[in-house]
Amino acid sequence: MDPLLAGVVAVLAMIALTFLGVPIAYALVGVAVVGNVILVGWQQTAMQTFLVTWEMGTNFLLIAVPLFVFVGQLAFHTRIASDLYDCVHKWFGRLPGGIAVTATVASAAFGAVTGSSVAAVATMGAMVMPEMRRYGYDPRLATGSLSSAGTLAIMIPPSIPMVVYGLWTETSVGKLFIAGIVPGILLTIGFCGWIVLRCLISPRLGPAGPAYAWGDRIHSLVRLLPTLLIFAVILGGIYGGIFTPTEASAVGAVSVVAVAACMRRLTWQNLKTTLRQTGTVSAMIYTILFSGVLMSRLLAQTDVTPAMVNYITRQSLNPYVILLLFTIMYVFLGMMLDTLGMIVLTLPFVFPVVKSLGFDPIWFGVYMTLMQEVAMLTPPIGLNVFVMAKIAPDVPMVDIFRGVTPFVVICLVAIVLLAAFPCLALWLPSLM
């Protein structure tokens, strides 16, 4: 069989299986195994399969995934987020839409200890939604802001999708983390700005909360210390060149255990649940990663990837036009795919094109993370919206999707800004 034809058939089969509902990892690995058997024989295929799983499983950088998952899960189970919320509420609760603003800022801060968007929504949503109801918040604004705020957790480091991207593209994970800081802060400001503006125009949508004395506010800062400590250890260590991201994840894991123990919130039950969830989530990420590597090696043998890169570059299109096309493609894919699936399925094709067009891999990592944020909010699959719908079952799903629409627009505006001013993402890493 002509290798190029085999490659095209493999890609089509992979897409068909994915749409059929076959788990993405199985679709990738199944097609890769069959394709390899046809192209190189069963012995080479067996060898490839073992080598890829061994190489990926013993990749020192990948250790950051289970350990960051552990940090996020333990922070979730030990109620560090509620302390964050209490503190931020005392400072921002008085603003129009104060509780929504507080939840957004607290979610961004929670993102500094967890790399999981779903954990952020589940934590903040369950905690803040009852209070929003008490103050008579508009359900659309309440659920929309909470769902969207959760996405900030994957932009503010540490970020599990960034580790996966870094592993896949061999881009520095440390630089990716640092690159996410400015866009993460800008998005937080954008989300809060929109909430305040909306509530200034229609105050009934989100009434302001109570005012607190300055003494209370300053005293509340003490509750920020655990988060600040963990964040400082992880990011400070990476930025200062003291740790690699993997080492930072280990030191972060030890720190979060120590902090939880000092706060007397570390129970055996918490620890056991956290460890069990860490194992299964990490295994899921590992499977999708090695499956993707097997698939991309198959594509490399069939010359599909170079043929596609050559085709696109021969069109002499403006790189930004291609970026626009990718953005449309990712918005479309994000409607149907999980974020990890989106990365692993598209990067083998998209990343070589992006590199050949001269885009910086770190900048593109931030772009990909933004696209994943959009994917978590867009129907019909918007994962954060599903989590929010579980927390607020009385709010129709359609209303939640309408509620997140302005925040999706803000994310898209952020992509335009990022394309126009790449330094937003690249300035901090350039100082490392």
- Site residues (CB under 8 A) for another protein, limited to 134-163: 154, 160-161
- Site residues (CB under 8 A) for another protein, limited to 306-325: none
Binding piece for another protein, criterion CB under 8 A, among 206-214, 246-254, 321-329, 392-400 = 246-254
Q: If you ran DSSP here, which 8-state letter would residue 233 be given?
A: I
Is 256 within 8 Å of 113 (Cβ atoms)? yes
Q: Does 301 bind another protein (CB under 8 A)?
A: no
Comparison of 174 and 341: residue with beta carbon closer to another protein: 341
Q: Which of 340, 395, 414, 424 binds another protein (CB under 8 A)?
A: 340
Comparison of 95 and 342: residue with beta carbon closer to another protein: 342
Nearest CA to 145 out of 95, 182, 179 is that of 95
Where does 335-360 have alpha helices with state H? Answer: 339-356
Q: Which of 84, 118, 304, 312 binds another protein (CB under 8 A)?
A: 118
Q: Which of 104, 147, 282, 327 binds another protein (CB under 8 A)?
A: 282
Is 255 within 8 Å of 112 (Cβ atoms)? no
Binding piece for another protein, criterion CB under 8 A, among 64-72, 95-103, 201-209, 319-327 = 64-72
Is 43 within 8 Å of 52 (Cβ atoms)? no
Cβ neighbours, 10 Å, residue 125: 26
- Site residues (CB under 8 A) for another protein, limited to 388-417: 390
Q: Does 366 bind another protein (CB under 8 A)?
A: no
Binding piece for another protein, criterion CB under 8 A, among 59-67, 206-214, 259-267, 322-330 = 59-67
Binding piece for another protein, criterion CB under 8 A, among 77-85, 259-267, 302-310, 375-383 = 375-383
Q: If you ran DSSP here, which 8-state letter would residue 222 be given?
A: G
Helices (H) and strands (E) in the chain, counts: 23, 0
Q: If you ran DSSP here, which 8-state letter would residue 234 be given?
A: I
* Nearest-approach distance from CB 115 to another protein, in angstroms: 7
By CB under 8 A, the count of residues binding another protein is 81
Q: Which of 1, 225, 242, 432 binds another protein (CB under 8 A)?
A: 242
* Nearest-approach distance from CB 144 to another protein, in angstroms: 18
DSSP 268-319: HHHHHHHHHHHHHHHHHHHHHHHHHHHHHHHHHHHTHHHHHHHHHHHTT--H
Q: If you ran DSSP here, which 8-state letter would residue 22 be given?
A: -
Q: Which of 278, 296, 327, 378 binds another protein (CB under 8 A)?
A: 278
* Nearest-approach distance from CB 43 to another protein, in angstroms: 9
Dihedral sign (CA 238, 241, 245, 248): negative
Q: HEC states along 83-134?
A: HHHHHHHHHHCCCCCHHHHHHHHHHHHHCCCCCCHHHHHHHHHHHHHHHHHH
Q: Does 423 bind another protein (CB under 8 A)?
A: no
Q: Does 67 bind another protein (CB under 8 A)?
A: yes
Where does 202-267 have alpha helices with state H? Answer: 214-220, 225-231, 237-239, 245-262
Q: Which of 23, 319, 361, 396 binds another protein (CB under 8 A)?
A: 23
Please name the residue that has the structure tokens 């918490």: 270
Nearest CA to 429 out of 199, 171, 202 is that of 171
Binding piece for another protein, criterion CB under 8 A, among 62-70, 194-202, 296-304, 407-415 = 62-70
Q: Which of 202, 267, 280, 430 binds another protein (CB under 8 A)?
A: 280
Q: If you ran DSSP here, which 8-state letter would residue 383 be given?
A: H
- Site residues (CB under 8 A) for another protein, limited to 175-234: none
Q: Does 59 bind another protein (CB under 8 A)?
A: yes
Residue type, 204: R
Binding piece for another protein, criterion CB under 8 A, among 48-56, 81-89, 130-138, 408-416 = 48-56
Structure tokens at 298: 């198959």
Q: Which of 62, 181, 187, 299 binds another protein (CB under 8 A)?
A: 62
Q: Does 41 bind another protein (CB under 8 A)?
A: no
Q: If you ran DSSP here, which 8-state letter would residue 63 be given?
A: G
Q: If you ran DSSP here, which 8-state letter would residue 60 be given?
A: G
Binding piece for another protein, criterion CB under 8 A, among 40-48, 175-183, 348-356, 361-369 = 40-48
Q: Which of 80, 87, 106, 122 binds another protein (CB under 8 A)?
A: 122
Q: Does 81 bind another protein (CB under 8 A)?
A: no
